[in-house]
Structure 1
Amino acid sequence: MEFAIQYWHWIVFGMLLILAELVVPSFTIFWFGLGAFIIAGLLALSVDISLSWQLLIWALSSTAFTLIWFRFFRPWMQDHTKAGIAREAIRGESGQVIRAPEEGQRGIVRFSTPLLGDDEWEFICSEPVSLGDRVFVLELSGNTLIVEKR
């Protein structure tokens, strides 16, 4: 009795590899699953391929998918915004004081363009500031800006 690998064996193998990607989130195993689907498609089209050729085609197609992903598509899909790097994104921005700090109360500065989604921020300044002064952002501390008057 001789055992022959059928197209559905490759489909199941491909699905198992793609499901394994849920456990190992590197987005690499996924491409080997797609390579298995290539072999399944060839076998479904009644192409008679020996097991050694199936394994070779699977390895080459999986490698090609992986290289194409990492070389061309992954760099294109990376986030190039400044989200998540708030300190660097807002340092040096200038705004106008619309409420001067008082005893027990922080001041409020307004920016012409929103910083991190908001155009008004509470601030702390080591120097005395008054209404209408221009201040520059040094750092973000929680939900409060640390500013300086220049």
Structure 2
Amino acid sequence: MPLSQRSIDMPYWLWMSAGVALMTVEIFIGSFFVFWFGLAAVLVGFVVLFVPQLAVAAQITIWALLSGVLALSWFRYVKPLSRDRTKAGLSREALIGQVGQVLKPPTGAGRGTIRFPAPVLGSDEWQILSEDPLAIGDRAHVTDLSGNALIVRKM
């Protein structure tokens, strides 16, 4: 049979293998983006397992749609929920007692910003809360943590 008349067959195990390979690549990349393409490939593998006569064009279309929906859902809905917890598990001992300069004073229930002379735990600017009235340029020291914000007192 000539090559132009051969039909392409994509068995379920090929989709699942490709999906697992993509998810394994994600371990080394760490962007949490490639994972969704891999998960979509595994899901298409399950579809092909139960509907083996599904055309290759339909399989690829399902994979592309699932990849897009999963990635978009992650970045649009799930990832923003974890944004305020990025520094929540860090060591209190490294932060408490640090002295910095107020760049933006907290207003009401809002957060301000402090800058330390040297980076603390990888960042020289942090969000702050304070019961003391603070102005730009004031020196303040860290007394506690509240989620992702530092509690400071004026010096």
User: Structure 1's 20 and 72: CA in aligned 2 closer, same or farther, altered over 3 A?
Assistant: same
> Residue 89 of structure 1 is aligned with which of 102, 112, 128?
128
SS state at 1:115 partner: strand
- Per the TM alignment, residue 89 of structure 1 is displaced from its structure 2 partner at its CA by 2.5
SS state at 2:63 partner: helix
The alignment status of 1:9 with 2:9, answered yes or no, reads no
Contact 1:82–1:89 (CA under 8 A) maintained in structure 2: no
The alignment status of 1:63 with 2:97, answered yes or no, reads no
> Residue 115 of structure 1 is aligned with which of 107, 125, 144?
144
Task: Describe how 1:123-134 pairs up with structure 2 within 5 A.
Answer: none
SS state at 2:42 partner: helix
Per the alignment, residue 51 of structure 2 pairs with 46
In structure 1, C-alpha distance between the alignment counterparts of 2:87 and 2:38, rounded to whole Å: 34
Letter of the structure 1 residue corresponding to residue 19 of structure 2:
G
Cα deviations by residue, 1:73-118 (Å, 9 ceiling, x for unpaired): 111122258857x644365659xxxxxxxxxxxxxxxxxxx6249x
Per the alignment, residue 111 of structure 1 pairs with none
Letter of the structure 2 residue corresponding to residue 78 of structure 1:
R
Q: Where does the alignment leave 5 or more consecutive residues of structure 1 unmatched? A: 95-113, 118-135, 139-146
TM-score, structure 1 length as denominator? 0.56
Cα deviations by residue, 1:49-73 (Å, 9 ceiling, x for unpaired): 1111111110011000011111111
In structure 1, C-alpha distance between the alignment counterparts of 2:30 and 2:86, rounded to whole Å: 23
Highest Rg: 1 or 2?
Answer: 1
Per the alignment, residue 137 of structure 1 pairs with 153
Q: Where does the alignment leave 5 or more consecutive residues of structure 2 unmatched? A: 96-113, 115-126, 134-142, 147-151
SS state at 2:51 partner: coil
In structure 1, C-alpha distance between the alignment counterparts of 2:15 and 2:51, rounded to whole Å: 14
Per the alignment, residue 35 of structure 1 pairs with 40
In structure 1, C-alpha distance between the alignment counterparts of 2:144 and 2:87, rounded to whole Å: 11
Number of residue pairs matched? 102
In structure 1, C-alpha distance between the alignment counterparts of 2:27 and 2:46, rounded to whole Å: 24
> Residue 21 of structure 1 is aligned with which of 26, 41, 49?
26
In structure 2, C-alpha distance between the alignment counterparts of 1:44 and 1:82, rounded to whole Å: 43
Structure 1 residue ranges, 4+ long, deviating more than 3 angstroms after superposition: 80-84, 90-94
Per the alignment, residue 126 of structure 1 pairs with none
Of all paired residues, the percent bearing the same amino acid is: 31
- Give the CA RMSD over aligned residues: 3.2
